[in-house]
Chains A and B, each alone.
Chain A
């Protein structure tokens, strides 16, 4: 086993997902088999291979420092589950 239940719980916290008992169990097994499958990559020697992060070889894509109109606050807040007085409202932070 590559993946333990504890790993799954830790990753779920990092990813901010509250998992049920069944989910923890299922994901533990599933992630394990997927990673087991992914381990076949280790058959390849990649010591001198550069990683590819982008499919296209672009660089220096830049824009000029010109102010564009912002959107109206109403529009910014139109999808907010909870807002007040022009702010997004969230529950207790600490």
Chain B
């Protein structure tokens, strides 16, 4: 019996995303990923004695942008606070963050569920600085005798987006996360490079008996960095909580960590741990007064968001499914839109984008922004098919050639002589030969077996290595046989 027959899950997620700035939140060090350890640091982000922070304007711009895309209210007055706790990856042993006056609050986004669209509330989103990275001498933090600290990531700007506890199933959680990441990617507030850890999730989850109105006791599992980890973590954690509840015990409210290798969550309790962040206003930074004009300027520049884009594509005749596939990544959707400018047939274009084009990208492990085929080039190829210059079948080999060489479809078609034979006099000669060589089929057709013409068309196509225009062949054959 599934635990969900007895219990209902209640889940909220805190998402930390790196904002896509060139420099750190409080100093001019680069935010570039992958530098050698401790090379993207300066006195400010190392927290040397005497240094002071100066806020990066772009961090505020991107936070406002993300907030607007998530339907948040943008605060008129906002400030930074210090969150005090000791950890070796935190150079000042406090994190400059926002406490009671976050920049964004009261937002929402829509997810698709089996029962239709559902609104997931966003409590708040606030700006803060990232911490450094620890490398452990042993396999895990608990088995290491010493650790090594790299402060390159220290001070990279983060937006922490806190959802309401509105999600009631694992698929709702995943839908929320996918939707959230998609929106952030669309607004370009964040690159959302999950594989580089630029998006991290803290999952707050509890179970309650079905029908109960009160929330159960929750746990918080920190620092998950992929959708699949979130799914596996929730499966494990919910089963664990159900077992605790089934045995009549209480779940302990605590912070846990996800062990990817063992596929389980582990308690992070420690007797030395005393949680009291002692927030107070950051005296080294002055408040933000966000004029409405500033917000409106950013609102005007907001790109089309995924939901609006799906709607537009459907209005062009794409199915809901196709529109969903194309808008699932901003890169693919941008590619499609760019190609659409010179390609009148949206449906046909969509089929090629979702079909062969995507297949080729996947096989070559290339992201759409690095595609060797430009959107205009794909549009040109689709147009050649629509005009009848090449057949769809030839198109499949042309796109492969385009992908390999980067050449235009027209050039390939010309170089390889792939254009369909639409010259009647040339075709008539071949057709006459086929008629002469296949008297039985000719007889059948004349006797009223309409299907026999298909065989004869096939023979002509074979003789022209597929380059004959099949419509024209059909027409000419019929003329000769009557």
Direct contact of A and B (CB under 8 A): yes
Q: How large is the interface on B (under 10, 10 to 19, 20 to 34, 35 or more residues)?
A: 35 or more
Which residues of B1-39 have CB atoms within 8 Å of chain A's CB atoms?
21-23, 27-30, 36-39
| Chain B residue with the shortest CB-CB distance to A10 | B274
Which residues of A47-73 have CB atoms within 8 Å of chain B's CB atoms?
53-54, 56, 58-71, 73
Interface: B60 (CB within 8 A) = yes
Q: Are B41 and A86 in contact (CB under 8 A)?
A: no
Q: Are B38 and A88 in contact (CB under 8 A)?
A: yes
Interface: A16 (CB within 8 A) = yes
Interface: A94 (CB within 8 A) = yes
Which residues of B264-313 have CB atoms within 8 Å of chain A's CB atoms?
270, 272, 274, 276, 278, 281, 283, 285-289
Given known contacts A65-B58, A67-B30, A68-B23, is B38 in contact with A54 (CB within 8 Å)? no
Q: Smallest distance from the beta carbon of A79 to chain B beta carbons, Å?
A: 8
Main SS at interface, chain B: loop
- Bound state CA distance, A58 and B22, in angstroms? 26
Stretch in B143-151, B231-239, B388-396 with 4+ CB within 8 Å of A? B143-151
Q: Are B22 and A65 in contact (CB under 8 A)?
A: yes
Given known contacts A76-B46, A87-B38, A90-B146, is B288 in contact with A60 (CB within 8 Å)? yes
- Bound state CA distance, A23 and B46, in angstroms? 32
Interface: B135 (CB within 8 A) = yes
Interface: A91 (CB within 8 A) = yes
Q: Are A68 and B27 in contact (CB under 8 A)?
A: yes
Q: Smallest distance from the beta carbon of A16 to chain B beta carbons, Å?
A: 5
Chain B residues with CB below 8 A from A87, complex form: 37-38, 135, 148-150
Q: Smallest distance from the beta carbon of A89 to chain B beta carbons, Å?
A: 6
Most buried by B among A69, A70, A71: A70
Interface: A6 (CB within 8 A) = no
Given known contacts A64-B57, A65-B56, is B38 in contact with A93 (CB within 8 Å)? no
Interface: B406 (CB within 8 A) = no
Interface: A14 (CB within 8 A) = yes
Interface: B404 (CB within 8 A) = no
Name the one of A53, A59, A64, A94 contacting B283, with C-beta atoms under 8 angstroms.
A53
Q: How many residues of A contact B (CB 8 A)?
A: 35
Chain B residues with CB below 8 A from A60, complex form: 286, 288-289
Per-residue 0/1 for B51-69: is the Cβ within 8 Å of any A Cβ (1 yes, 0 no)? Answer: 0001111111000000000
Most buried by A among B22, B37, B59, B86: B37
Q: Are B134 and A93 in contact (CB under 8 A)?
A: yes
Q: Are B41 and A94 in contact (CB under 8 A)?
A: no
Interface: B141 (CB within 8 A) = yes
Chain A residues with CB below 8 A from B430, complex form: none
- Bound state CA distance, A11 and B39, in angstroms? 36
Which residues of B147-161 have CB atoms within 8 Å of chain A's CB atoms?
147-151
- Bound state CA distance, A56 and B21, in angstroms? 29
Most buried by A among B86, B149, B286: B286
Per-residue 0/1 for A7-42: is the Cβ within 8 Å of any B Cβ (1 yes, 0 no)? Answer: 000100110100000000000000000000000000
Q: Smallest distance from the beta carbon of B423 to chain A beta carbons, Å?
A: 61
Chain A residues with CB below 8 A from B145, complex form: 91-92
Interface: B88 (CB within 8 A) = yes
- Bound state CA distance, A20 and B36, in angstroms? 42
- Bound state CA distance, A84 and B149, in angstroms? 10
Q: Smallest distance from the beta carbon of A6 to chain B beta carbons, Å?
A: 12
Q: Are A94 and B141 in contact (CB under 8 A)?
A: yes
Q: Are B27 and A59 in contact (CB under 8 A)?
A: no
Q: Which residues of A contact B (CB under 8 A)?
A: 10, 13-14, 16, 53-54, 56, 58-71, 73, 76-77, 84-94
Known contacts A61-B286, A70-B30, A87-B38, then 15 further A-B pairs from the complex at CB < 8 Å, ordered by chain A residue: A56-B286, A62-B55, A63-B55, A63-B57, A64-B58, A65-B56, A67-B22, A67-B29, A68-B29, A71-B41, A87-B148, A87-B149, A88-B148, A90-B147, A93-B134
Pairs A-B, 8 closest by C-beta atoms: A68-B28, A87-B148, A65-B58, A62-B57, A53-B281, A58-B286, A88-B149, A59-B289
